[in-house]
Structure formats: structure tokens, C-alpha cells
Structure 1
Amino acid sequence: MGLMVIFALVVIVAAFGVVRSLRSKNLLGLLFALGTVVVFGWFTFMTLFKDGFPTAH
């Protein structure tokens, strides 16, 4: 479950990358940042959906 938390942080950082590349009109950066958000975001969402939120021990 720790990996899921790390992937969620990657999604947040990549979302900032999407916004930044849109402002600077960087199409290649937008492509990679958007791809990262989609792939890692889907993995994070489905992990939360299937296993639930990780509990602290």
C-alpha cells in the first residue's frame, strides 16, 4: 500500500506538470505529463477502489 501512496504523489506532481506545460505551450511535456496522470492515476484509483484506503498500523 505504500507504493500506492507514492504513486498518488506522482499523480499530484504530474498534474502540476500538466498545468505548467499548458501555460508554456510545451506539447511534448504536456503529452508526457498527461500520460503520467492517466496511467498512474488509473492505477491509484483502481487500487483504492479494490483494496480501500491504506490504514496506519
Structure 2
Amino acid sequence: MVFDASARRRLAPYRMYPYLLMTVEVPSRGITDQWRRTGLARLLAEEIALAT
């Protein structure tokens, strides 16, 4: 299935939500894994770039 630009913008928040949720929970859960910070930030940045 091919999505046009409008559809990709509408889907973007749903795709970003899990990354945002994991990012917010890292400090409160005491997770010290470096990937949680750098990897999630990279994935979130990629989703933001796709949405714009």
C-alpha cells in the first residue's frame, strides 16, 4: 500500500507514540541502557523527518 503525504502526516503521531512513551519512561524506571537514549532519539528523529 502506498500512502500519500497527507496520509503519512496523519499516521506520524501513531508511529511516534511508542518511541515517546519509551523515552519518557526511561528515567522513572531507572533504565541505564545507553541505546534507550540514543536509539530511541534516533528512531523518533527519523519519524519526525518522515512526517514533515
TM-score (norm 1): 0.54
Deviation for aligned residue 1:7: 3.6
Superposition RMSD in Å = 1.9
Q: Which has the higher contact order (CA 8 A, sep 6+)?
A: 2
Alignment-mate amino acid for residue 21 of structure 1:
V
Aligned-partner Cα distance in 2 for 1:26–1:19: 14
- Tell me which stretches of 4 or more aligned residues in structure 1 moved more than 6 Å: none
Among all aligned residue pairs of Structure 1 and Structure 2, give the percentage whose two residues are the same amino acid: 2
Is 1:39 aligned to 2:46, yes or no? yes
Gaps of 5+ in 2: 1-5
Q: Which amino acid aligns with 1:8?
A: P
The size of the alignment, in residue pairs, is 45
| TM norm structure 2 | 0.58
Unaligned runs of 5+ in 1: 47-57
